[in-house]
Amino acid sequence: MALGKKDHSWRSLQQDAQLTKARCKWLLGKFFILVALSSLCLIVFKWFEHFHKPLLCPQPLRKVIFTSDGVLSENWLNRRVSIPLGKALMRIDLEYIKTQLEACSQVASAVITRKFPDTLVIEIKELKPVAKLFVSIQGKRCIRLISAEGKLFTPVAYTRYGIKPLPILSDVTVQLIQKGKILKFNRIYTLLVELMHQYPDVYATIVQISLKNFDPLLEEKWLQVDLKTSYNQHLIFNCTYVDVQMRKLKGVLYALTPQQRSQLLRIDLSLANPVVEFR
């Protein structure tokens, strides 16, 4: 038989028929496998859709989670803003709630998010008071708290005992306050922090901070504060080169005897050479 020529005998036809039959079986088996896999995927999808449909579709608002890093409570939240339980979660106006909460001067920021399927999460950051200020509004004596940034805010949910330990800020002129904030108060706060860290026993006795000679609109030398203690002693600082003045204070206190310290009236650390006065 010559090479390259196809054998058209009955044996060749029988072999071709067997090959065609085997290929059909293979294709049919593959088809059934694909159908089975598709059916399985459809069943899994329907099962997931049935049992997890509440997670996929927003539900009416049923729960509010409220957290704050300060003293504000959920009772305050309910008085401050009305949150419509039962309303569709996606129809809750988050921006409106945020605006209402941040209108409270004690609130530094409010973050409101939806937690599907039916929860609203409200996180509050509050201003932390470091001093207090007494002001007269329509002839009535009112109290305002001052944050580390110098922002003035009306205290909400603070008890009398929570406010009492704060030092009083005195001799505050109108020129010192702009847009509800005391100018360059951060310099005073830096001084207070250094005093608290290095001399906590002295810091604990501070009852008043006088800004009589504190003028942020003039030169640095006018950033002077008078810290009055519960022993009626006065520590005069300039809010520039605080670390240098802390070393001066250390030298003065080290040199004084216990009897002299009890008679101490005034230490002026704002000068090149500290001035010490006794009663």
250 and 117 together in one domain: no
Residue 39: predicted pLDDT? 72
pLDDT in tens, 57-98: 668 999 999 999 999 999 999 999 999 999 999 999 999 999
Beta bridge partners of 165: none
Residues 141 and 272 in one domain: yes
- pLDDT of 245: 96
Residue 36 lies in a domain: no
201-255 tens-digit pLDDT: 999 999 999 999 999 988 888 999 999 999 999 999 999 999 999 999 999 999 9
Are residues 121 and 142 part of one domain?
Answer: no
Residue 27 predicted with pLDDT over 90: no
**Residue 18 pLDDT > 50:** yes
- The answer to whether residue 223 sits within a structural domain is yes
175 in the same domain as 203: yes
**237 shares its domain with 169:** yes
Residues 172 and 251 in one domain: yes
Task: Flag whether 159 is in a domain.
Answer: yes
Percent of the chain with pLDDT over 90: 75
Cis preceding linkage at 54, omega within 30: no
68 and 140 part of one domain: no
Cβ burial of 227 (10 Å; 0-12, 13-18, 19+) is buried
CATH of residue 110: 3.10.20.310
What pTM was estimated for this model as a whole?
0.78
Q: What is the pLDDT of residue 53?
A: 52
Return the pLDDT at 154. 97
Give residue 80's domain range. Answer: 63-126
Neighbours of 226 (CB within 10 A): 20
Mean pLDDT of the chain: 88
Q: Please tell me the total count of domains within the chain.
A: 2
Token code pair at residue 153: 């805010």
pLDDT of residue 34: 77
pLDDT tens across 268-277, in order? Answer: 999 999 999 9
The helix/strand/coil state of 250 is helix
Through-space distance between the first and last CA atoms of the chain, rounded to whole angstroms: 136
Contact between 166 and 147 (Cβ < 8 Å): no
